[in-house]
Amino acid sequence: MMKWKEMFNQKYKAGFALLVLLLMMVLVIFAHKNNLSKLQHSLSSIYSDRLVAGNYLYKLSHEIYKKKLHLDEVGNIYSEQNDSIQKIIHQYDQTLLTAEESSLLASLKSDLKFSNRLENQIRNSSSIQIKDSLESELGNQYDIILHDLDGLTSIQLSEGQKLTAESNRIVASDNITSRLEMALLIIFGVLIMLIFSVLKSRRVRTAPSLN
């Protein structure tokens, strides 16, 4: 009776140990999947909210530089160019922006509207003296817009570096999780072998003698 009780206790302990290992493996697998999900989101954000957004800022800067280089031809600027700029602004506005980026973007929109008003005044002015004065003011306004764009580009670089660092941290964490998962699998396998070894040994000892 005592032997059966001892065997039951040992089996109970072994079963409990296996259950704990299984639960730990489930938690590790869940952590692994969670890390993969975070990494996927981080990489997606780097592409869609930083690389693509950075390209929009480059296009905007290019358009403003073109305007500044042809400042004496403001009267010939077609509305399509401003429409193109507004389209790029709208696309950039759809990306994920920080509070600082949203504030700078609001300033950029306001500065662009003011530059559009100056352009219209130059086109509608018949006085050369007034045109010269407005063109000088417009040139300064383009510089303000380019400064806004430089600020947004700097934030893009900073946020991109943060996302890259976060991705590296997730990868490092996942490497640890993978090693832990492998260690648990090895321990699980060794424990199974020990249990079968003990059971086999007990069967041999309790087997009836042929004599």
Q: pLDDT by residue (tens digit) across 19-51?
A: 776 677 777 667 666 766 665 665 555 555 677
Summarised one tens digit per residue, pLDDT across range 80-98 is 788 899 999 999 998 888 8
Local structure of 70: helix, strand or coil: coil
Which pLDDT does position 2 carry in this prediction?
46
Which pLDDT does position 91 carry in this prediction?
92
Tokens 């994920």 label which residue? 96
Q: Are 181 and 43 in contact (CB under 8 A)?
A: no
Question: Is the pLDDT at 161 greater than 50, yes or no?
Answer: yes
Summarised one tens digit per residue, pLDDT across range 100-154 is 989 999 999 999 999 999 988 888 887 888 888 988 999 999 999 999 999 998 8
CATH class of 18-202: mainly alpha
Tell which phi-psi region holds residue 139, choosing left (phi > 0), alpha (psi between -120 and 50) or beta. Answer: alpha
What are the sequence ranges of the domains in the chain?
A: 18-202
Q: What is the pTM of this model?
A: 0.62
Say how many C-beta atoms besides its own lie within 10 A of residue 32's C-beta: 16
Sign of CA dihedral 110, 115, 120, 122: positive
Tokens 């009267």 label which residue? 75
Phi and psi at 29, nearest 5°, equal -65, -40
Which pLDDT does position 12 carry in this prediction?
64
Summarised one tens digit per residue, pLDDT across range 135-147 is 899 999 999 999 9
Which pLDDT does position 210 carry in this prediction?
45
Which pLDDT does position 145 carry in this prediction?
96
